[in-house]
Chain A
Amino acid sequence: MKKFMFVNRKAPHGTVYALEALEVVLITAAFDQDVSLVFVDDGVYQLKKQQLTKGIETKNFSPTYRALDGYDVEKLYVERESMQARGLSEDDLLVDVTVLGAAEMAALMREQDVVLSF
């Protein structure tokens, strides 16, 4: 088993990166790998509560983050500095996460076998 990390740095709806990352995460989980998800920069917006995409007529994939638990993807990390720059707190997020400072995040990245960035 390898340690896979997915680094999410893009806001959820302006580009397709966030949705594509989710697809790859679910595939990787199906192969019984050790999966971590990281949300930094605008990536923290992916986890914002109350996303309602009816008005922009796109798929609302935000509930999928709540289902990751069912695929044994339980390691979700958010960088504290990224949340602060966006006025967000843990209460604004739709799943339970571990909040890490930049230094701790860097250490976690160093431990990985494979890092994929979206």
Chain B
Amino acid sequence: MLNIVNKSPLERNTLDSCLRLMTAGGAGEDAVLLIEDAVYAATRGNAAAAKLTEAMGRCKVYALMPDLEARGVADRVIDGVHAVDYGGFVDLVAAHPNNQSWL
């Protein structure tokens, strides 16, 4: 399952719900892709960054590079988060059997 989150972790609880409900599948089966305002969660010093780091033990975490750049935070991404471009977004969708957009 590819979980796509697009809301700021400090404004909405979508990232919390996603991480809480995400099933701990086998290695490499679950992933979280942060897009739009959700990319702030993957930045150093953000109050939600620790939750994301904790989740990396269970899943891979990706963030969309154009959204990081638009927000001026491309140079503040925490360790363990993989930045992807739009092509990478498509590859992630294709690589997972299903996906869920947490709105």
List A residues at the B interface (Cβ < 8 Å): 10-14, 41-42, 45, 48-56, 58, 60, 62, 85-88
Total A-B pairs, Cβ < 8 A: 72
Question: Known: A42-B37, A56-B67. Contact between A88 and B45, CB under 8 A?
Answer: yes
Cβ contacts A to B, 24 pairs, < 8 Å? A10-B11, A11-B8, A11-B11, A11-B71, A13-B36, A13-B37, A14-B6, A14-B8, A14-B36, A42-B8, A42-B37, A45-B40, A45-B71, A48-B71, A49-B72, A50-B72, A50-B74, A50-B75, A54-B69, A85-B47, A86-B43, A87-B45, A87-B46, A87-B49
CB-CB contacts of B1-39 with A at 8 A, as 1s and 0s?
A: 000001110110000000000000000000000001100
Nearest residue, chain A, Cβ from B67: A56
Cβ contact within 8 Å between B46 and A14 = no
Q: Is B82 an interface residue (CB 8 A)?
A: no
A58 to chain B: which residues have CB within 8 Å? 70
Nearest residue, chain B, Cβ from A15: B37
A14–B75 Cα distance when bound, in Å, is: 19
A55–B7 Cα distance when bound, in Å, is: 19
Chain B interface, number of residues (Cβ within 8 angstroms): 25
Cβ contact within 8 Å between A52 and B45 = no
Q: Is B51 an interface residue (CB 8 A)?
A: no
A86 to chain B: which residues have CB within 8 Å? 10, 40, 43, 45-47
Cβ contact within 8 Å between B47 and A55 = no
Cβ contact within 8 Å between A55 and B11 = no
Q: Which of A14, A50, A62 contacts B37 (CB 8 A)?
A: A14
